[in-house]
Structure 1
Amino acid sequence: MAVDPLVTGLVVVGYLLMIIGLGIYGYRKTKVAEDYMVAGRNSHPLVIALSYGATFISTAAIVGFGGVAASLGMGLIWLTVLNIGVGVLIAFVVFGKRVRRIGKKLGAFTFPDLMGKCYNSPFLQYVSGIIILLSMPIYSAAILIGGARFIEVTLGIQYTTALLGFAIIVGLYVVFGGLIAVMYTDAVQGAIMAVGMGLLLVLTYIKLGGVTVAHTALTGMSDLVPAALTAQGHMGWTAMPAFGSPIWLTLVTTMVLGVGIGVLAQPQLIVRFMTARDDRSMNRATLIGGPFILLMTGVAFTVGALTNVYFYQNSGEIALTAAGGNIDSIIPLYITSAMPDLFVIIFMLTLLSAAMSTLSSLFHTMGTALACDVWGRGRACALSLRANKRGILIMMIISIIVALLLPGSIIARATVIFMGLCASAFLPAFINGISSKSPCLIGAKASMLVGAIIWAIWTAFVHAAESGAIGLSQLIFGAPSVLGQPYSAINPLVVALPISLIVMVAFQIRHNRNLKIE
């Protein structure tokens, strides 16, 4: 389908001018480190909610997980349920208010800074920053890939050129405008995403003959599931996989739990709570964030699965086959093949907004972690605007390099890797730090290190999806995974997080007993 290049060009230019304008606004409003790092701690509830949602919902959710839904089916909708229950209600209501109060009281500027000050430990700040610098480039690279792939398919721009241009544009307004620019652009981009995803759902059902007809057709295609997937437990695109099967374990432990729980410990999201002016702002933001995430993820997973109906009716192939086996190409191919020209442009803006909103937050988080928490920790330059701008530029370059090295079909996988590591390493110590009157430092150190190490070992030697690609298990033990099914299909988070939590709880109980004795 050919999209009018003139119309597309005008729309893109208009969009970029708007984003540049917001970047300039952020630059003018940024006077001190508090403005650059936590948006002056005075953000509007609407901006907080849309920025949080747009940061969380990226090309990984729309392109990556939409492609996963096309492959594995609508069982992924359970992730939407967990996203709202955990990612919004618990995150905002239970944790968000505490983070806002404690962050302001302690004068914390970043997530590692918050961890360090909660426990009065430079070590925790440093290690938290290191974990971010080692893991977040993989996630940011996946976001870059998702945006660049759609630009490549939609505009016919060479992939490497699209990726570089995309990264540079985002990097510029993040570097100069700081978190104020990031959050205001996020809010506008979130509004665009809501319109685009709402239209996508409506147009998909119209294209496929209505809600009932579309879902009935998808249910009737269960006999078209490839034999390789059937053997692993796939029972059709409108049914959950067979309980305990490899696909069930992947869907539940990796996709649903890995992302649904992992959202609680994402540094770039936690910082959003530190930008609120008061608890009332957090309450109002919750009412906006829930429906937004419901729309974003629900539509992506539903439409992703329904692409099978469209491709089968028009080419006699299921979505994965039509996309040449690359799940990251399914949604872009569906949009350019099935949707009207005008919507292709709208969805391009939707995807650009999703990618830019998340990428800008990741650039900001990585850059400030480098400058404030690792390289400049304990020195005056930690809060230097110049140092943090340089940190963002450095991490942007690293993300581009990683994106050029990563293989295809990586978007959803990279998201799960990042969120799983964050949850395993950070979550128990983070919850304890903002909840306990006297948090145990030794327990936090042990929990963080144990969680990260066990996650890394399981990733490198057991979880076949990663261990096979890493190759260490094959090199040392002569097999892609040292354990067979079902263990090789269980996500590292399911093993590492409970152990990390037990360690934190055990040390905290012992610490509390010692305080009573004293």
Structure 2
Amino acid sequence: MIDIVYLNILVLVYILAVGYLGYKGWRETCNSEDYMVGGRKIHPYVMAMSYGATFISTSAIVGFGGTAGLFGMGLLWLTFLNIFVGIFIAFVVFGKRTRKMGYNLSAMTFPELLARRFESRFIQYFSGLVIFVGMPMYASVVLIGAARFIETTLAIDFNLALMLFSLIIAAYVVIGGLKGVMYTDAFQATIMFVGMAFLLVMTYSHLGGITQAHQALTNLAALVPANLAAMGHLGWTAMPAAGSAWWWTLVSTLVLGVGIGVLAMPQLVVRFMTVKSGRELNRAVLIGGVFILMMTGVAFVVGALSNVYFFERDGVIAIAAAAGNSDSIIPVYINTAMPSWFVYIFMLTLLAAAMSTLSSQFHAQGTAIGRDVYETVVGTRGGRSILITRIGIIIAVVVAVILGYFLPPSIIAPGTAIFFGLCAAAFLPMYTCALFWKRATRAGAIAGLVTGTVVSLFWLVFVHQKEAVPLGIAKMILGRDVLITSMPWPVVDPIVVALPLAFVATVVVSLATKPPESEHLDRCFEGIK
């Protein structure tokens, strides 16, 4: 009874704090620039923590943490890429140019930045549609991660948890715009950092210390299930057999898909346009790097080490303790291994993680449909744009909730990787060339955008067995589960094929077409060294 009282007080204080920050964002939102890019005056701490909290969600903590329970410590390569590519390269190399070019062109969304750089309405509304149509699955798996933990912790029906959680997030995103989102993100990121630090310390304490815990995990290699061993699983402290199905899934889908895809995530790129100078981005690097290390590193280590805990307690590995659903490994581990007071604190950590990411996803989807599609198609700026944006956010929430009811178990990590990979293939070649290659042309950018999108979708539907088999379209048309049956192609992620092809298309078509006018380029690159 006392625990429930404490929990209610904790949740109430948390919701009041989030509500206040959303209200603060609303009070400071006076125009479209405030609503979409935070007025371009966001503090570097708020920007870095908002970026990190948007990047790291329940999909990282619950989904990828659970996936680490399957794959083991090899997933830490993703942590390395998250920090090196997702923070250092993103902030220092891409971020500074993005901020300056966005200011030069008065761009307020990622698609608008690309469209104005290449003077193309098609790029803006096509990119907006890719975001609005492709992001719901990513948003849905984040919702699922939070709802699963609430279901496990509070014994609340999963469907009810999904619905209530979505309504709370929708309320402050619709009202507060990007300022409300970023203020709440920074607050939630601070909670996440503290919660994950506690989790790491308590896990090693449970398992007898760092050395003993890792040695015990190494000793479990003989317990790898036969079906996973046949796919190349060599144990939880070893990389899978090179070239095996398990290796391709880990490296191409989980590590490269998310580790590279982060550079072209619309809801992350827009953060670079919220600060007033490149100096703020330099100051944000250390904050963001430490935050990402604590979030992903702890989640992956704890997910892998949960195998030791469950074996010592029940004589089974983590996936067996979670009844075959990797999305349940972290919730089950927390609820069985940790004291009740920590379970409640960690629930707030996950709520913060999910709310911070979802708020940014819904905001990105809303601006995609309001700013990038509606304004571009009708040919006018302002007016009903913010209203359409808010309606778009509500539609995005409804779609994500509906998908949450139908998506299968163990979907969180793969669902996240699909969207990251799609964004990388569709946007990264065009985005990179926009910032660093003045010779890139409108036709080249469009060629890369369309090539990356089409090849990614084709590969998902006809080649990559993880998606092609459940969809059944290849089976219906071709009479077999996948187009290419010879290994390793059925387990090669779309990003491995689509991203290089999109880069080639962008470069080749640019070289074959008329260079852009120097006057426009001078405006785009003004002040960029």
1:141 is displaced (CA, Å) by 0.5
Task: Output the amino acid matched with 2:38.
Answer: A
Once the two structures are superposed, residues 489-518 of structure 1 have per-residue CA deviations (whole angstroms, 9 ceiling, x without a partner) of: 1001000000101111222333477989xx
Q: Which residue of 1 aligns with 2:527?
A: none
Equivalence map 1:280-299=2 (5 Å): 280-299=279-298
Q: Which residue of 2 aligns with 1:268?
A: 267
Q: Which residue of 2 aligns with 1:70?
A: 69
Distance 1:84 1:383, change over 3 A: farther
Residues 36, 178 of structure 1: 8 Å contact kept = yes
Q: Which residue of 1 aligns with 2:193?
A: 194
For residues 254 and 512 of structure 1, the distance between their equivalents in structure 2, rounded to whole angstroms, comes to: 37
1:376 is displaced (CA, Å) by 2.9
Q: Which residue of 2 aligns with 1:502?
A: 504
For residues 514 and 19 of structure 1, the distance between their equivalents in structure 2, rounded to whole angstroms, comes to: 46
Equivalence map 1:10-25=2 (5 Å): 10-25=9-24
Q: Which residue of 2 aligns with 1:119?
A: 118
| Structure 1 stretch displaced more, 402-411 or 277-286 | 402-411
For residues 388 and 221 of structure 2, the distance between their equivalents in structure 1, rounded to whole angstroms, comes to: 56
Task: Output the amino acid matched with 1:310.
Answer: Y
Once the two structures are superposed, residues 454-482 of structure 1 have per-residue CA deviations (whole angstroms, 9 ceiling, x without a partner) of: 11111111111111111111222222222
Task: Output the amino acid matched with 1:212.
Answer: T
For residues 147 and 397 of structure 1, the distance between their equivalents in structure 2, rounded to whole angstroms, comes to: 16
The percentage of counterpart residues that share the same residue type is 53
For residues 22 and 395 of structure 1, the distance between their equivalents in structure 2, rounded to whole angstroms, comes to: 22
Task: Output the amino acid matched with 1:508.
Answer: S
1:438 is displaced (CA, Å) by 4.7
TM-score (normalised: structure 1): 0.97
1:134 is displaced (CA, Å) by 1.2
Equivalence map 1:125-204=2 (5 Å): 125-204=124-203
Equivalence map 1:410-429=2 (5 Å): 410-429=411-430
Q: Which residue of 2 aligns with 1:467?
A: 468
Task: Output the amino acid matched with 2:109.
Answer: T
| Structure 1 stretch displaced more, 123-132 or 427-436 | 427-436
Task: Output the amino acid matched with 1:412.
Answer: A
Which of 490, 493, 498 does residue 491 from structure 1 map onto?
493
For residues 333 and 3 of structure 1, the distance between their equivalents in structure 2, rounded to whole angstroms, comes to: 22
Task: Output the amino acid matched with 1:99.
Answer: T
For residues 327 and 145 of structure 1, the distance between their equivalents in structure 2, rounded to whole angstroms, comes to: 13
Residues 33, 383 of structure 1: 8 Å contact kept = no
| Structure 1 stretch displaced more, 474-483 or 332-341 | 474-483
Q: Which residue of 2 aligns with 1:277?
A: 276
Task: Output the amino acid matched with 1:239.
Answer: A
* Residue 407 of structure 1 pairs with residue 399 of structure 2: no
Once the two structures are superposed, residues 428-450 of structure 1 have per-residue CA deviations (whole angstroms, 9 ceiling, x without a partner) of: 00111122335301011111111
Once the two structures are superposed, residues 78-108 of structure 1 have per-residue CA deviations (whole angstroms, 9 ceiling, x without a partner) of: 0011111110111000110111011111111
Residues 373, 382 of structure 1: 8 Å contact kept = no
For residues 414 and 195 of structure 1, the distance between their equivalents in structure 2, rounded to whole angstroms, comes to: 27
Q: Which residue of 2 aligns with 1:81?
A: 80
Residues 137, 400 of structure 2: 8 Å contact kept = yes
In structure 2, stretches of 5+ residues that fail to align are 519-529
Task: Output the amino acid matched with 2:82.
Answer: N
RMSD (CA atoms): 1.5
| Structure 1 stretch displaced more, 367-376 or 8-17 | 367-376
1:320 is displaced (CA, Å) by 0.2
For residues 463 and 428 of structure 1, the distance between their equivalents in structure 2, rounded to whole angstroms, comes to: 22
For residues 323 and 213 of structure 1, the distance between their equivalents in structure 2, rounded to whole angstroms, comes to: 24
1:211 is displaced (CA, Å) by 0.5
For residues 131 and 300 of structure 1, the distance between their equivalents in structure 2, rounded to whole angstroms, comes to: 30
Equivalence map 1:254-333=2 (5 Å): 254-333=253-332
TM-score (normalised: structure 2): 0.95
**SS state of the match for residue 365, structure 1?**
helix
Q: Which residue of 1 aligns with 2:521?
A: none
Corresponding pairs, count: 515
Equivalence map 1:341-490=2 (5 Å): 341-377=340-376, 378-381=379-382, 384-484=385-485, 485-490=487-492
For residues 110 and 433 of structure 2, the distance between their equivalents in structure 1, rounded to whole angstroms, comes to: 14
Residues 376, 382 of structure 1: 8 Å contact kept = no
